Amino acid sequence: MNEYGFVGNGPLGHVDALGLATQKKECSKCGPDVTPDIVAEIKNIRTLIRRFRVDAHGWVSRQLWFASLAASLDYHNEAMAGNIANAQHGCPSEDCKGTFTLCGKCITSDTPGNLLFGLAAEEMGISAGWRDIAAITVEAVNFEGQFLESQSDMDLWSVGRQLSLYLRATGRLARAAGLANPIKDALCRSIREKLPADKERKDCPLCPEKPDKFPSAELPAAAPRSPSRGVRVF
């Protein structure tokens, strides 16, 4: 038996008369910085939606395709399973599990999926009612609790809608001005202005490191547009 374990094997430099401090508390850290990864996901989703020939699909097929797109936005479960982390730098710490660093804020890991869900609904022209039905359908199948756990989850759908509107408004201007990363600019603007308060973890210091890996959403296939029409997403 190690009689000095309760003072970290340092009886001269550590004092714990009651033997309560069995471990040194680790420093809190938010999850890794996924900003570039989410920017790439936004570009992929917008490209995919633009390729989806809405007029060539029946209403039911369109709704099912949107629901499968929503189901693919599973960043929350990936984070909770420890699949989106930076092991070398300890991001996230145990007390900050289920968080990401995004646009200079520490956010809960269900934020990106809900935000992109709202973005996709707006980009596809899905009404609020059918958007809500898609969320209910996904939750009924997956039981993940990502989309309907709280009111702020649904508030994030509005943030995604706002992001879509920003992108539409600035698209041509961004290309003309040669902005380096207009999607990132629009994303971070939306986060700064609209992020629900309970989706930010101010108690977890930011982690500037990138994740060891980022499991991108397995987006559903879509029928491409005619090559003559092309697809361009900034």
Which tens digit of pLDDT belongs to each residue from 39-87? 999 999 998 888 776 555 677 777 888 888 888 888 988 999 999 999 9
Query: What's the gap between Cα 57 and its chain centre?
Result: 29
Cβ–Cβ under 8 Å, residues 104 and 188: yes
**3-state secondary structure at position 166:** helix
The whole-angstrom separation of Cα 112 and Cα 75 is 7
Banded model confidence at residue 228, pLDDT cuts 50, 70, 90: very low
Tell me: the pLDDT tens digits for 81-127? Answer: 999 999 999 999 999 999 999 999 999 999 999 999 999 999 888 88
Domain assignment present for residue 123? The answer is yes
Q: In the chain, how many domains are there?
A: 1
User: Does residue 204 surpass a pLDDT of 70?
Assistant: yes
What value does the mean pLDDT of the chain take?
80
pLDDT at 7: 46
pLDDT at 120: 92
Cβ–Cβ under 8 Å, residues 10 and 4: yes
pLDDT at 136: 81
Domain assignment present for residue 35? The answer is yes
pLDDT at 234: 38
pTM of the model: 0.78
Mean pLDDT of 171-191: 76
- Domain around 142: 28-199
Domain assignment present for residue 157? The answer is yes
pLDDT at 36: 95
Banded model confidence at residue 229, pLDDT cuts 50, 70, 90: very low
Domain assignment present for residue 179? The answer is yes
What secondary structure letter does DSSP report for 144?
A: -
Exposure letters 216-231 (e unless 16+ CB within 10 A, then b): ebebbebeeeeeeeee
For 18, other C-beta atoms within 10 Å of its C-beta total 6
The whole-angstrom separation of Cα 226 and Cα 234 is 20
Domain assignment present for residue 1? The answer is no
pLDDT at 20: 57
Domain assignment present for residue 74? The answer is yes
Banded model confidence at residue 179, pLDDT cuts 50, 70, 90: low
Domain assignment present for residue 36? The answer is yes
Domain assignment present for residue 125? The answer is yes
The whole-angstrom separation of Cα 129 and Cα 50 is 22
